[in-house]
């Protein structure tokens, strides 16, 4: 059970959809426009009856199931204020329709675009919502009689290209969600590498994977240090897509691929430790974006880099107090083996700076519990070196509804990660400003003058957001859509 919903655009004959099922929107002014009037007539005035009974209010989040005279089904979804309709509202509405169809075991639905909102952005959002909203993670239920998946959806009156693009983007988000939801014994570094290789097959993405021996010899002492506590083979994965002009500098995406974080010798408490299977969600962002790129084939240069290992304890594990030497020869004093994400990213960021001439570097990591304290599960924490890159990221955040909030990287914070006996230490001072301490540490592995932004997705990568296009307790795939918007694919 992991077939994704297929979505396509249609421009005529929506009436045929009444044999199956149809969905259409209503604003909170409750006026019946010609679309609603037409469907109302075909349903034997069933919409009017629901309106006069006060069941349909046109509010956001509302989905009303209406059964017409001949048993045909329509879903009327609320769109709120007519003047305030946004792509995010439509995405949430189409996802709500998908969820209603699944609970009613409806195989296929036609989603009618609102008459006054049929542009590209709206079409893309409607398609994204249908696919994201119908996502379910059922891989490990061996005998699941209750399970039901929708097979297809049509969007009536959208912009075809944008509908197709939205479907590809959302299916890439679902691909990442599948990887992220898989537990640590399945989604190992080898599993991530295999998935990268699958993306490269029959596409223009070139994948290189370095194993423990290779990356250790190359000088990645920080990744090697974290990986020393596990026999599960660690990997350093590189995905290169060079379809832009040779003169164009590559954009580099780095993702934390920590497939299970026990904390190592500085072991975590037992409660919720299972959630540390999600500690590879940063790599999920990179794999999701690269998958979308491999299908949409934009003319640009993008490189994905994933340092991947488990963080385990044992007699081979690295210790608090150890000093590691990263790829750029900087030394790191390890004060807590649970601050391992920044260590494996240190090697990846310095590898990116040395081996490419990046236009910019973005990194994605479930880096700190502190970002959940600061922003909850509502937003991703960002910080970086280039105000104009950050401004573009905030713009893409607005476009996609994936919220970000910027933290400062002032010199005072950079001082807090200086070590007395090595170049830097992997903890800040006194547990203060934990998220910024993580960012400040990473900054010392980004070469001077390189444009870079760090995304701390520890709160947004999974959790309890009450959005119809996400499922509580399940991976969200957040910031994949934001990055695709930023790349202008
Ligand atoms: N993977 C965790 C961060 C995390 C914690 C993500 C909770 C999501 C929920 C990271 O490796 C970690 O353990 N960070 C430590 C850093 C600390 C030791 C400086 C943390 O946040 O407690
Ligand atoms: Mn940790
Ligand atoms: Zn971690």
pLDDT at 482: 99
Q: Confirm whether 73 is domain-assigned.
A: yes
Residue 407 binned pLDDT confidence (cut-offs 50, 70, 90): very high
Residue 464's pLDDT is 81
> How many angstroms does the Cα of residue 219 sit away from the middle of ligand 3?
22
Examine the residue annotation and report whether 268 is marked as an active-site residue of this protein.
yes
Residue 445 and residue 300 in one domain: yes
Q: Which ligand is nearest to the CA of 336?
A: 1
Range of the domain at 102: 6-134
CA distance from start to end of the chain: 30
Give the position, in ligand 1's atom list, of the atom nearest the Cα of 368. 21
Same domain, 212 and 329: yes
Residues 437, 151: Cα–Cα separation, whole Å: 46
Residue 129, domain member (yes or no) = yes
Task: Please identify, by atom number, the ligand 1 atom nearest to the C-alpha of residue 258.
Answer: 1
> What is the structure's pLDDT at 143?
80
Asked if the model's pLDDT at residue 1 lies above 50, the reply is: no
Burial of 269 (0-12, 13-18, 19+ CB in 10 A): exposed
Strand partners, 424: 332, 418
Residue 421 CA to residue 179 CA, distance in Å, equals: 39
Residue 127 sits in the same domain as residue 219? no
Chain Cα centroid distance, residue 7: 20
> Of 259 and 14, which is predicted with more confidence?
259
| pLDDT classification of 17: cutoffs 50, 70, 90 | confident
Q: Indicate if 74 and 194 belong to the same structural domain.
A: no
The span from the CA of 133 to the CA of 130, in Å, is 5
Q: Are residues 353 and 410 in the same domain?
A: yes
- pLDDT tens digit sequence for 446-464: 999 999 999 999 999 998 8
With bands split at pLDDT 50, 70 and 90, how would you rate the model's confidence at 465? confident
Helices (H), 239-327: 281-296
Q: What would the mean pLDDT of 228-247 be, rounded to a whole number?
A: 98
Final residue of a domain: which of 111, 134, 157? 134
Query: Is residue 205 in a domain?
Result: yes
Q: Is residue 442 domain-shared with residue 297, that is, in the same domain?
A: yes
Residue 409: which of 378, 386, 380 has the closest Cα?
386
Residue 441 sits in the same domain as residue 298: yes
Q: Largest Cα–Cα distance in the chain?
A: 80
Q: Which of 82, 118, 268, 418 is catalytic?
A: 268
Boundary (domain end) residue, out of 134, 149, 182:
134
Backbone angles phi, psi at 173, to 5 degrees: -65, -40
71 within some domain? yes
Judgement on whether residues 109 and 220 belong to the same structural domain of the protein: no
CA distance 13 to 451: 50
Residue 139 lies in a domain: no
Same domain flag for 184 and 87: no
Helix or strand (DSSP H, E) at 66: strand 63-67
Q: Are residues 249 and 317 in the same domain?
A: yes
- Indicate which CATH number applies to the domain containing 288: 3.40.630.10
- Domain membership of residue 149 (yes or no) is no
Spatial distance between the Cα atoms of 190 and 365, rounded to a whole number of angstroms: 19
Distance (Å, whole) CA 219 – CA 232? 20
Cα–ligand 3 centroid distance for 367 (angstroms): 6
- Strand 108-112 relative to strand 73-78: parallel, antiparallel, unpaired? unpaired
* Tens digits of residue pLDDT in 260-280: 999 999 999 999 999 999 999
279 CA to centre of ligand 2 in angstroms: 8
Domain with 78 in it: what CATH number? 3.40.220.10
Q: What is the number of helices (H) and of strands (E) in the chain?
A: 15, 18
Average pLDDT over residues 230-234: 98
Measured by CA distance, the residue closest to atom 18 of ligand 1 is 339
Query: Do strands 235-242 and 301-311 pair parallel, antiparallel, or not at all (unpaired)?
Result: antiparallel
Each residue of 110-162: pLDDT tens digit? Answer: 999 999 999 999 999 999 999 999 999 999 998 877 789 999 999 999 999 99
Rounded (10°) CA dihedral 28, 30, 33, 35 = 80
DSSP SS3 for 348: helix
Categorize the per-residue pLDDT at 195 as very low, low, confident or very high, splitting at 50, 70 and 90: very high
Joined together, the tokens standing for residue 275 give 């959630």
Ligand 1 pocket mutation pick from 334, 338, 376, 426 by most atoms within 8 angstroms of CB: 338
What pLDDT, on the 0 to 100 scale, is given for residue 2?
Answer: 54
The pLDDT of 210-229, averaged and rounded, is 99
Q: Is the dihedral of CA 199, 200, 203, 205 positive or negative?
A: positive
Probe residue for ligand 1, chosen from 318, 366, 368 as the CB with the greatest number of ligand atoms within 8 Å: 368
Same domain assignment for residues 98 and 214: no
- Tally of domains within the chain: 2
Helix (H) or strand (E) segment spanning residue 391: helix 387-400
Ligand nearest to the CA of 457: 1
What is the tens place of the pLDDT at every residue in 329-346? 999 999 999 999 999 999
Structure tokens at 31: 């006026």
Other beta carbons within 10 angstroms of residue 78's beta carbon come to 21
Q: How far apart are CA 94 and CA 78, in angstroms?
A: 10
Residue 77 inside a domain? The answer is yes
The active-site residue, picked from 277, 342, 443, 465, is: 342
Percentage of residues in the chain having pLDDT higher than 90: 93
Residue 286 and residue 211 share a domain:
yes
Cβ atoms of 111 and 94 closer than 8 Å: yes
Q: Which residues line ligand 1 (CB under 6 A)?
A: 261, 279, 336, 338-341, 366-370, 372, 427, 434, 458
| Residue 155 maps to a domain | no
* Distance between Cα 424 and ligand 3 center (Å): 19
* Phi–psi pair at 198, nearest 5 degrees: -60, -40
| 16: pLDDT strictly greater than 80 | no
**Rg of the chain, C-alpha, whole Å:** 24
pLDDT digits (tens, 9 = 90+) for 87-115: 999 999 999 999 999 999 999 999 999 99
Residue 206 CA, distance from chain mean position: 22
Q: Is 83's pLDDT higher than 50?
A: yes
**Among candidate residues 77, 110, 134, the one where a domain is terminated:** 134
């Amino acid at each position: 059970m992991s077939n994704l919903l297929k979505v396509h655009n249609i421009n005529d004959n929506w009436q045929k959809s009444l044999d199956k099922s149809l969905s259409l929107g209503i604003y909170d002014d409750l006026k019946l426009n010609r679309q609603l009037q037409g469907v109302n007539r075909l349903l034997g005035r069933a919409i009017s009856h629901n309106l006069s009974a006060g069941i349909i209010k046109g509010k956001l989040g509302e989905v009303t199931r209406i059964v017409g005279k001949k048993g045909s089904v329509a879903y009327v979804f609320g769109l709120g204020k007519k003047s305030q309709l946004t792509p995010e509202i439509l995405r949430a509405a189409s996802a709500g329709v998908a969820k209603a169809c699944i609970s009613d075991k409806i195989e296929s639905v036609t989603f009618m675009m609102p008459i006054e909102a049929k542009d590209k952005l709206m079409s893309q959002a409607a398609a994204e919502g249908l696919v994201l909203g119908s996502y379910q993670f059922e891989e490990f239920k061996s005998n699941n009689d209750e399970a039901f998946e929708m097979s297809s959806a049509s969007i009536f009156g959208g912009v075809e290209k944008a509908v197709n693009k939205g479907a590809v983007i959302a299916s890439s988000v679902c691909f990442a969600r599948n990887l992220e939801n898989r537990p640590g014994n399945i989604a190992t570094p080898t599993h991530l590498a295999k998935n990268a290789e699958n993306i490269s097959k029959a596409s223009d993405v070139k994948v290189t994977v370095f194993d423990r021996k290779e990356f250790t010899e190359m000088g990645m002492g920080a990744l090697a240090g974290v990986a020393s506590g596990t026999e599960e083979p660690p990997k350093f994965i590189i995905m290169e897509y060079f379809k832009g002009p040779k003169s164009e500098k590559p954009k580099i995406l780095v993702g934390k691929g920590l497939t299970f974080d026990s904390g190592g010798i500085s072991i975590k408490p037992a409660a919720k430790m299972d959630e540390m299977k999600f500690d590879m969600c940063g790599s999920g962002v990179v794999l999701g974006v690269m998958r979308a790129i491999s299908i949409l084939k934009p003319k640009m240069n993008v490189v994905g880099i994933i340092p991947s290992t488990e963080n385990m304890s044992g007699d081979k594990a690295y210790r608090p107090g150890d000093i590691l030497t990263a790829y750029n020869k900087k030394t790191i004093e390890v004060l807590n083996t649970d601050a391992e994400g920044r260590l494996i990213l240190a090697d990846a960021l310095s590898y990116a700076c040395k081996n490419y001439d990046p236009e910019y570097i973005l990194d994605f990591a479930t880096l700190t519990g502190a970002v959940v304290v600061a922003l909850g599960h509502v937003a991703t924490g960002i910080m970086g070196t280039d105000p104009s890159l950050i401004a573009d990221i905030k713009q893409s955040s607005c476009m996609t509804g994936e919220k970000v909030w910027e933290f400062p990287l002032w010199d005072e914070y950079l001082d807090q990660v200086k070590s007395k006996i090595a170049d830097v230490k992997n903890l800040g001072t006194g547990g203060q400003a934990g998220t910024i301490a993580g960012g400040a540490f990473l900054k010392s592995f980004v070469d001077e003058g390189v444009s870079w932004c760090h995304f701390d997705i520890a709160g947004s990568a999974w959790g309890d957001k009450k959005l119809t296009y996400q499922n509580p307790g399940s991976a969200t795939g957040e910031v994949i859509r934001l990055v695709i918007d930023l790349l202008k694919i």
